[in-house]
Structure 1
């Protein structure tokens, strides 16, 4: 399949692995560990790159990374159609800059993660500007794949994440959903490792407070 065809008509997800259950479980576990006084919460290991990833190229990268990136964007923007648009725009920009063979791009995964975070930030800035002048529209109609990507029982954690500061939310999502190290998060967000560590600590406390607050 050509790159143009792939980007214009992406494959629809069919796997139940699309649910953000890993983040939901990780956050719940971290909240319990924080409550018990544990200072060394466990962090899930990053999944291995598929053995059949093949030669580097935008088609293979799109096929193997699109869903992970949509999930990442979804947790940042809290809107599946927008998350899909974010990822589509990121891959389109990647293709325009590096071509189908990604010539000159040393670390495509890092580039894509950073692009998704930055594009999500831009979306949220535009959303705040629009909402300051236009009444918020009614909730979007769920797409066919939304029940797969975001299950109702995880809504509490997702809502709590979006009550954190933008930096706190980004750090938690990148660490406990994308399984990045402190150094990788620092590179992605343009922070020092110390800032990542302190932000993660404060974010977990704030998240526990949000989840335990009566509604």
Structure 2
């Protein structure tokens, strides 16, 4: 379960140099929208709500563009806005357990149809276990393993201490392992 690497974020940010606000936000939308919707869907467990969260993040970025000290920080701003927006939506009870973004392996990487079915089942079990985690544990694990962020980056995104990130990650992984062993 991998998202966009830090190198990809830097490359996307470098493309913003010299662009006006509308062009820069449009460029970010083209390069980051799909990834951010995936991130939000992992956090809120509802594709429609995820789309709304990402839309709100881009609207916020557009409105605050002139206040960004460094336009290259726009990707980090979007990550933080999506995480915070997802958390706000969960607090508001806007979550549906019936809609899920499935994490299915790409067809070209599958060895056989049976292998694909097994991997799909494992991904679905992992997804169900992830959605049962407390919000902060889910956020930490999604940022770590979907966005491939470091502990320091996660701490900055969630605005908590690195020690808190380690604690939530450890507890989340333990809970996922127990759930997977139990055959949820």
Range class of TM-score, shorter chain: 0.7 to 0.9
TM-score after normalising by structure 1: 0.65
Partner SS, residue 180 of structure 1:
coil
Please give the alpha-carbon distance, in whole angstroms, between the structure 1 residues aligned to 2:40 and 2:16: 26
- 1:176 maps to 2:145: yes
Alignment partner, residue 104 of structure 1 = 69
Alignment partner, residue 61 of structure 2 = 94
2:8 equivalent among 28, 37, 48? 48
Matches within 5 A, 1:116-155: 116-127=82-93, 139=98, 150-151=103-104, 153=121, 154-155=123-124
1:40-67 residue CA offsets vs partner (Å, 9 max, x unmatched): xxxx964534857633411111111111
Alignment partner, residue 113 of structure 1 = 79
Please give the alpha-carbon distance, in whole angstroms, between the structure 1 residues aligned to 2:170 and 2:11: 35
Please give the alpha-carbon distance, in whole angstroms, between the structure 2 residues aligned to 1:169 and 1:51: 27
2:173 equivalent among 189, 199, 204? 204
Structure 1 unaligned residues grouped into runs of 5+: 1-20, 24-43
Structure 2 unaligned residues grouped into runs of 5+: 18-23, 105-119
Please give the alpha-carbon distance, in whole angstroms, between the structure 2 residues aligned to 1:45 and 1:116: 17
Distance 1:126 1:165, change over 3 A: same
Please give the alpha-carbon distance, in whole angstroms, between the structure 2 residues aligned to 1:76 and 1:82: 10
- 1:73 maps to 2:53: no
Superposition CA RMSD, Å: 2.8
TM-score after normalising by structure 2: 0.75
Alignment partner, residue 83 of structure 1 = 50
Distance 1:103 1:205, change over 3 A: closer
Partner SS, residue 75 of structure 2:
helix
- Between Structure 1 and Structure 2, how many residues are aligned? 160
Please give the alpha-carbon distance, in whole angstroms, between the structure 2 residues aligned to 1:98 and 1:48: 21
Q: Which moved more, 1:51-60 or 1:195-204?
A: 51-60
Distance 1:96 1:155, change over 3 A: same
Greater percentage in helix: 2
